Amino acid sequence: MTILTGLFGKDSLGKTKYAQSGDIAYIPMIYGNMYGKNDAGFETIDLVNPDTYVASAGMSTGLVSGMTFNAGTLVATYAGTYLIIAHASAEAATTGEYGMKIFIGATGKDNLYSHAHIGASATMSLQGIVALAAADVISLRFDDHANPVRDLVLLSASVTAIRIGD
């Protein structure tokens, strides 16, 4: 079976054709989603130390295909390049500076980071592209940039990972 490198081309009459040569291989979409929602807060993140990221463990599984969901994390089944999108709506009893970052395993990804000044409520969002190996674990984590530390109440959050390349 031949996997096409270019799916579109022109025939001798200049009309678009969908396969240039060989068999077309079915390549399934690889994606994963996790989320949490509760207007009163679905999870309180206990930020014990300033500038220390704490994972959200209260998320539920959304749609997954070619990935797995495990205790508030997404796990890549296939290596590749992934687009990751995340969003969170949160509130804090004490106004402060908070950060949200995607971690791959124990490593925070600086290109997948968002910051907000949160009091009554605020939103944070991020998106970026990362290379994942098979079995890499994706988690959404939060930190507090001040001392004394404060708790953060998540009202809604979601993380979506879509494989976009090898």
Query: Residue 46: phi, psi to the nearest 5?
Result: -85, 100
Distance between CA atoms of residues 124 and 112, nearest Å: 11
Structure tokens at 24: 């077309």
- What is the pLDDT, as a whole number, of residue 103? 98
Q: Tell me which residue of 159, 1, 164, 166 sits closest to 74, measured CA to CA.
A: 159
How do the domains of the chain map onto residue ranges?
Answer: 30-165
Mean pLDDT per segment of 10 residues, for the chain of length 166 residues?
46 52 66 95 89 94 96 96 97 88 98 91 96 98 82 95 95
- What is the pLDDT, as a whole number, of residue 25? 57
74: β partners: 69, 138
- What is the pLDDT, as a whole number, of residue 3? 44
What is 30-165's CATH topology? Jelly Rolls (2.60.120)
Burial letters 47-78, b for 16+ CB under 10 A, else e: beeeeebbbbebbeeeebeebebeebbbbbbe
- What is the pLDDT, as a whole number, of residue 27? 61
Query: Residue 137: phi, psi to the nearest 5?
Result: -110, 130
Structure tokens at 81: 């390049």
H or E segment and range at residue 64: strand 60-65
- What is the pLDDT, as a whole number, of residue 14? 55
- What is the pLDDT, as a whole number, of residue 23? 56
| DSSP result, 82-143 | EEEEEEEEEE-SS-EEEEEEEEETTEEEEEEEEEEEESS-EEEEEEEEEEE-TT-EEEEEEE
- β-pairing, 152-165 vs 80-91, is antiparallel
Q: Please state the pTM of the whole predicted model.
A: 0.83
- What is the pLDDT, as a whole number, of residue 102? 98
- What is the pLDDT, as a whole number, of residue 65? 96
- What is the pLDDT, as a whole number, of residue 77? 96
